[in-house]
Amino acid sequence: MREDRSEMSEDDDSASPSDLGGDATETSSNISRTSPVPGGGGEYVSPYPDQVLENVLENVLMFLTSRRDRNAASLVCKSWYRVEALTRLDLFIGNCYSVSPRRVTERFLRVLSVTLKGKPRFADFNLMPPNWGAHFTPWVAAMAYSYPALEKLHLKRMSVTDEDLGILAHSLSSFKELVLVCCDGFGTSGLAIIASKCRQLRVLDLIDDEVRDDEVDWISCFPEEGTSLESLIFDCVDCPINFEALERLVARSPSLKKLSLNRYVSIGQLYSLMIQAPQLTHLGTGSFSSSEIVAQGDQEPDYVSAFAASRSLVCLSGFREIIADYLPLIYPVCANLTSLNFSYANIDAEQLRSVIRHCHKLQIFWVLDSVCDEGLQVVAATCKDLRELRVFPIHAREDSEGPVSEVGLLAISEGCRKLQSLLYFCQRMTNAAVIAMSKNCPDLVVFRLCIMGRHRPDHITDEPMDEGFGAIVKNCKKLTRLAISGLLTDKAFSYIGQYGKLVRTLSVAFAGDSDMGLKHVLEGCPRLQKLEIRDSPFGDTALHSGLHHYYNMRFLWMSACSLTRQGCKELAQQMPLLVVEVINGDGREEERDEFVDILYMYRSLEGPRADLPNFVKIQ
């Protein structure tokens, strides 16, 4: 945890325990600057010296955009601290409980953009009980009052109500951009308020949200005159929409560049929208199947010509209920694509081959493992400029062999040498393939290998996967995010502690021998900010080995490990500036024994939160 001069908005690695509490340290820079009166023995005091300095600083700091640089500037002295706050236009708050809305709005007065995160990432995997918290209500109340000029709001894993959206829409006359990622609690009624009241809205992006169907025609609520819309993403809204209203909206939005449709939009309707908006650069296709019955003698629309006319398209996604026979329709745009998302498209290797062979500029590619190793080999042979690859499981089962393996990974490492980010789900892997990846792709920044099935070894040698992950942290010098799984001993964790000096986020699943493994990581990774552990043997001794580092971390999550309530309580007593939450069940179950289901620990300037559900205990 850091004091309020640097905690407010940063996803920063550089905090240290010396930053905790208190006002800015007095330095020569904020002592009154005086000079002797020429020819005399007295002193001449320059009028308004601080104001002059702060005016100069304000002009300088306006050009400082990096959050980390701004944090560093705010720590110089009191004057820099004040001026940095006055010139801060963009806020990033990585944990909504790390600081209160009051403290934020009292310090930063001219904010135009806020990014706010709530629940930890493991909430995405149903590992956190519902109604845990992360309510947006206190934040929106403070922002509506203190930031009337707010233009942009990005929320992630927050609980947002229709009333919250109503306050936003009615209070912020200049509001232009709303991005909600993995949020819940609101419905189409709230979207209708945003659409009707935010007349300058440019961006409405709904990504992986749970949106309630209130049977409200929210698409019809956008202004009837021309709009300023540049991006409209609603592929997660799982309810029918008024297509005629959407068609009119697209037609009167000449600045629209990004459009992502839900599964209720058919390919015929997609054609109509593309004819209206050939300027699109990013397109989510909706279902990519037909819901219309073509009468005998009628011709289907010329879909190919619609894609051919979309010369600006560089990003293609969607394909929610794809009919593979329609895949050739996208051939005309493939040559220009830099991003292609097939993570909902159940296609095989041959169907993928027909598309990928045209995609030589591709830099980002998401796909299901239904393409098998053969499909990944095609990607490796074609996409030489690939920077990010994600391979998702079509069936996340532990009891099958799985369609992708070390064969696909090895092909990617040999063919895509510019790769920087990898997420790879599989059931079989070898150390040799992972070692090859570390040597062939040394620029990797993100490496997430998820071997489904508990404690699975190298399936050829039957050895632990220690050497493979050890090679990744040793050879990939830029690595900041790592996810490990499979059969791993303390040796793998010792490699991470020895070589993972830049690792900021570490995710561990079904891995480890003893408490010594976690001790290696906590003592050896000085930049570690986020540590997520599930179903691993680490206990109280491992937990207490990180006392020297926890104040520098954003959070620690441990679920289904070997922690006890007493161990968590002792940790909380030794680190009073951390919030230690213990979660057992969902409040409907009696506490069974001394062991803890979930530990969620984070730094906060405010202490324990006020909105605790009954299944969360503060130690």
d(CA 534, CA 484): 11
pLDDT in tens, 268-277: 999 999 999 9
Q: At what angle do helices 466-475 and 431-440 cross, to 10 degrees?
A: 10
pLDDT band at residue 55 using 50, 70 and 90 as cut-offs:
confident
pLDDT band at residue 52 using 50, 70 and 90 as cut-offs:
low
CB 437 within 8 A of CB 464: no
d(CA 280, CA 254): 10
Give me the pLDDT at residue 177, please. 98
Give me the pLDDT at residue 50, please. 63
Mapped onto helix, strand or coil, the DSSP state of residue 182 is coil
d(CA 327, CA 325): 6
Mapped onto helix, strand or coil, the DSSP state of residue 169 is helix
| pLDDT: which is higher, 327 or 299 | 327
How many residues in total does the chain contain? 619
The candidate with the shortest Cα–Cα distance to 234, out of 252, 250, 254, 251, is 250
Structural domains of the chain sorted by starting position, each given as residue range(s) with its CATH number in brackets: 51-85 (1.20.1280.50)
> Is it the case that residue 180 has pLDDT exceeding 60?
yes
The candidate with the shortest Cα–Cα distance to 280, out of 264, 299, 259, 306, is 259
Q: What mean pLDDT is predicted for residues 488-501?
A: 97
Least confident of 440-454, 464-478, 591-605: 591-605
pLDDT averaged over every residue in the chain: 89
> Is it the case that residue 399 has pLDDT exceeding 90?
no
Q: What mean pLDDT is predicted for residues 376-380?
A: 98
**Rounded to 10 degrees, what is the CA torsion of 98, 101, 104, 105?**
180
> In the 8-state DSSP scheme, what is residue 292?
S
Q: With a threshold of 0.85, does the pTM exceed it?
A: yes
Most confident region among 80-84, 128-132, 314-318 by mean pLDDT: 314-318
pLDDT in tens, 422-460: 999 999 999 999 999 999 999 999 999 999 988 999 999
Give, in order, the Cα–Cα distances in Å from 169 to each of 143, 161, 165, 177.
Answer: 12, 13, 6, 11
d(CA 444, CA 421): 6
Q: What mean pLDDT is predicted for residues 357-378?
A: 97
| pLDDT: which is higher, 560 or 9 | 560
d(CA 72, CA 49): 23
Least confident of 41-50, 79-88, 203-212, 346-355: 41-50
> 533 pairs with which residues across the strands?
508, 558
pLDDT in tens, 532-545: 999 999 999 999 99
HSE (side-chain half, CA atoms, 13 Å) at 536: 32
Give me the pLDDT at residue 86, please. 86
Share of the chain above pLDDT 90, in %: 78
Give me the pLDDT at residue 39, please. 42
CB 367 within 8 A of CB 377: no
Give me the pLDDT at residue 1, please. 35
Determine if residue 553 is left, alpha or beta; phi over 0 gives left, psi from -120 to 50 gives alpha, anything else beta.
beta
